[in-house]
Structure 1
Amino acid sequence: MSMEPAVARAAALQGAGRYEESKAELAPHLAEQPDDEFAWQVLAVAHEKLGEYELAERAAAEMLRLTPGHVGGLILLSRVLLCLGRRSEARAAAEEAVHRSPGVWTSHYALSEVLVAYAAAPPADHERAYEAALEAVRLAPQEADTHMALCFTAVRTQRQDVAKRALVEWLRLDPSNQTAQAMYTDAMADAPAVTASQAADMYSEGLAGAPQSAMLRRGLDHATYRLLRGTRWLALGCLAAAGVMIDLFPTAKHPTLRELPVPLGNRLWVLVVMAAIWGFGALLRYQRMRTGVRLNIRSLVRRGRWARIVVGQAVCTVLCALLISQIPWTDRSVPTVLFWAGLAVPLSTMVYDRRKTG
């Protein structure tokens, strides 16, 4: 059956992303020919793309009334019902599409999409979604969407190796897909051997290509937070240097503590050591980072409560180290209190703040 000129024009407008104009083109045609199922299908797609899901459902239902069991209409109805939160009806429509056309990959893809949409769904549903995605890949291995479905369902069913292979294939077939790019970057940055600095650079580079990706932004924030956590170790290094300079604790090798106050030259030398610790451990690394990472460090400190906490802990520990090393103490009691205070402040949260995200 040939497509009416008005419907063809509406479909062409949709191809250009002009969905409102497509609807305007279809309105007089459907008023004259309300039994044109193709027109209802095109109208349903226009409503769906504009987020008018209730209107899209009515148009898809009208199409199915005119052509009962139309697989394309069932798949479209399944997508729209899923967007409306009517999961059981969406599943029924997708299963009907699979039943009517088991050899069409879009039917299995639609069923997989419905079953994997809810993380709290029963494990059996996720397994069924995985099987449907596998069948879609078998029927259409050249389609990027089938590998996308397999990737999502493999993640849901804890098949990480399958998910990685599917992601690589998905990205090969659709290299410009921002979701695939974001997931690939996240997978690479989350590898065990990747440092916080490397991960931050990866996420920043990924955001350059997909600036709207919430996944990459969360990943960059987490990597930045890991970098900020590392500053506490630099601060503890400064505290250790100050403690060694003033001989706070006797050892078997040096049981006799030096006389106080410590000479000015020793105190100034500790400042050089502290400057080297921060210069090589923080400043040099900071200058080598991508501009996006440096900007995110400042941003996260402004908006992240835990980011401010770890920076404050590092500052507090360094301040204790400076007080210990730069004041000409004549007694070790106050420096000892300062040392334990500088040690306790960062250690008080190190045990559990690793899971925080900034």
Structure 2
Amino acid sequence: MTAPHQPSVLERAEALYDLGRPEQAAALAGQHLAEHPDDAAALALLARCLRRAGRPAEALGYADQALRADPELPSAWLLRAELLSNARHFGPAEDSARRGLALIPQHWAGYHVLSSVLLASGQRARHPEAYAHALRAVELGPEEDTTHFQVGLAAYHLKDHATAQRAYEQALRLNPENSEAHNNLSLLHLRRRWLRPGAWTKAASGFVDSAALDTEDRAARYNLETMAWGAAAGARWVALAGFLTAAVGSAPLRSGATGSGPLVAELVGVGVLVALWTAWALWTLRRVPPRLRRPLLLIARGCPPVLWMGGAVALLGLHSVLTLALPRAGAELVGGLGTPLFWAVVITYWASRTALTRRAPHRRRAAPGP
């Protein structure tokens, strides 16, 4: 009776890496390298583990060691290309990607990595070539969600948003847990929020899904912060209109006029103010379905620019209510306090917008290996 195959240390390390446990995989790879220091496959695996652990400089060092041990190892060339691209060394990154591709011309990973490097370089003239390589990757790896995602990314850079959307949707059909595809598809929906009903809601839903799938990805969280800030900033128009409505509606009573006219003006002002805020609340509730309200609220509570904007709007809205509730309070309430609050909303809008922009993360991409 044949004894069952016992996996080697390196095979167990590869399995742990595939299961998303890079620390344990790195420990086993190190154990293997202690006995086989020139094993290129083990060096390349350790480099991948270190990359995933957020230690790119060490990962690059081990990738170089792997290539010194075996210059014909394509996965090490492609990993080196990704690491150099992330470090913005695009010339050497492209050279590494092409050398890796030359070793595996019939494998999708080489075309995928080369396309990623060309897009990351920021040279618009290279975008058509990046798109062509992404299409070739799809031809060779049609069941890989990352190949379709790359087509979407390249198409987006070429401003072909329809193709980008189809590619992202296909990536999600193949892998519903592709957080980057959720995120980028949501960005497309967000661009169309004024043109297509429900686009804003789809965008928010996608960002929530992306953030839930990858808790360490700051991009999706930042996009949610942007949407929460946009909701608060949009309410400034309601607050400013309410401020003017309250000032005009309470003016006759504040000036001491008598008769039914001042009371009618006051009641009209109250009705308009209630209508403004009710319409805004109903519109907001319609845009944000129940499952998205808690995530957006939690995001808003942890984002100072959103809190600043929301606070400024709330204070001006409260001032409008007090102006109509206390019409005889005098000019001190309307002008003395209202005018500073009015300008506070305007100034807070620009200050919070600038602060939000500074919170934007630098997006990291992980290129696969063969």
Q: How many Å separate the matches in 2 of 1:197 and 1:9?
A: 47
- Name the counterpart of 1:11: 14
Aligned residues of 1:108 and 1:135 also touching (Cα < 8 A): yes
Change (3 A) 1:240 1:29: closer
Aligned residues of 1:45 and 1:56 also touching (Cα < 8 A): yes
Aligned residues of 1:317 and 1:345 also touching (Cα < 8 A): no
Superposition deviation, residue 117 in structure 1: 2.0
Q: How many Å separate the matches in 2 of 1:205 and 1:218?
A: 13
Structure 2 spans left out of the alignment, 5+ residues: 357-370
Query: Higher RCO, 1 or 2 (CA under 8 Å, sep at least 6)?
Result: 2
1:47 aligns with 2:43: no
- Given residue 156 of structure 2, which amino acid in structure 1 is its aligned partner? V
Q: How many Å separate the matches in 2 of 1:5 and 1:29?
A: 9
What is the root-mean-square deviation of aligned Cα atoms in Å? 4.4
TM-score by length of 1: 0.73
Aligned residues of 1:78 and 1:110 also touching (Cα < 8 A): yes
SS in 2 for 1:65: helix
- Name the counterpart of 1:251: none
Larger radius of gyration: 1
Superposition deviation, residue 230 in structure 1: 3.5
Could you list the per-position Cα deviations for residues 188-237 of structure 1 after superposition, in whole angstroms to 9, with x for gaps in the alignment?
Answer: 24324369998368526742662442343233224323432232364157
1:65 aligns with 2:68: yes
Change (3 A) 1:196 1:230: farther
Q: How many Å separate the matches in 2 of 1:130 and 1:170?
A: 16
Could you list the per-position Cα deviations for residues 307-347 of structure 1 after superposition, in whole angstroms to 9, with x for gaps in the alignment?
Answer: 44455555556666667xx3399xxxx89x96xx97x957x
Q: How many Å separate the matches in 2 of 1:3 and 1:63?
A: 25
1:214 aligns with 2:221: yes
SS in 1 for 2:194: coil
- Name the counterpart of 1:145: 146
1:74 aligned to which of 60, 72, 77: 77
Q: How many Å separate the matches in 1 of 2:16 and 2:141?
A: 28
Give percent identity, aligned residues only.
23
1:27 aligned to which of 25, 30, 49: 30
Could you list the per-position Cα deviations for residues 121-173 of structure 1 after superposition, in whole angstroms to 9, with x for gaps in the alignment?
Answer: 32223333222212212222221111111222222232222222211112221
1:231 aligns with 2:238: yes
1:276 aligned to which of 263, 266, 274: 274
Aligned residues of 2:81 and 2:113 also touching (Cα < 8 A): yes
Superposition deviation, residue 37 in structure 1: 2.9
Which stretch of structure 1 is more off in the superposition, 307-316 or 172-181? 307-316
Change (3 A) 1:92 1:202: closer
SS in 2 for 1:210: helix
Aligned residues of 2:192 and 2:199 also touching (Cα < 8 A): no
Q: How many Å separate the matches in 1 of 2:37 and 2:303?
A: 56
Could you list the per-position Cα deviations for residues 279-333 of structure 1 after superposition, in whole angstroms to 9, with x for gaps in the alignment?
Answer: 523455567754334566666687554544455555556666667xx3399xxxx
Q: How many Å separate the matches in 2 of 1:24 and 1:91?
A: 31
Change (3 A) 1:271 1:66: closer
Change (3 A) 1:208 1:112: closer
- Name the counterpart of 2:165: 164
Could you list the per-position Cα deviations for residues 229-251 of structure 1 after superposition, in whole angstroms to 9, with x for gaps in the alignment?
Answer: 232364157248618x849xxxx
Structure 1 spans left out of the alignment, 5+ residues: 248-258
Superposition deviation, residue 93 in structure 1: 0.5
- Name the counterpart of 1:93: 96
Aligned residues of 1:40 and 1:63 also touching (Cα < 8 A): yes
Q: How many Å separate the matches in 1 of 2:202 and 2:134?
A: 33
Q: How many Å separate the matches in 2 of 1:282 and 1:5?
A: 63
- Given residue 232 of structure 2, which amino acid in structure 1 is its aligned partner? Y
TM-score by length of 2: 0.71
- Given residue 5 of structure 1, which amino acid in structure 2 is its aligned partner? S
- Given residue 157 of structure 1, which amino acid in structure 2 is its aligned partner? L
SS in 1 for 2:14: helix
Change (3 A) 1:267 1:58: closer
- Name the counterpart of 2:366: none
Could you list the per-position Cα deviations for residues 23-61 of structure 1 after superposition, in whole angstroms to 9, with x for gaps in the alignment?
Answer: 333334333333433323322322322233333333323
**TM alignment of 1:170-181, pairs within 5 A:** 170-181=171-182
- Name the counterpart of 1:254: none
- Given residue 8 of structure 2, which amino acid in structure 1 is its aligned partner? P
SS in 2 for 1:142: coil
- Given residue 106 of structure 1, which amino acid in structure 2 is its aligned partner? A
- Name the counterpart of 1:255: none
Q: How many Å separate the matches in 1 of 2:298 and 2:28?
A: 48
- Kindly tell me the number of residue pairs found equivalent between the two proteins: 336
Q: How many Å separate the matches in 2 of 1:133 and 1:218?
A: 31
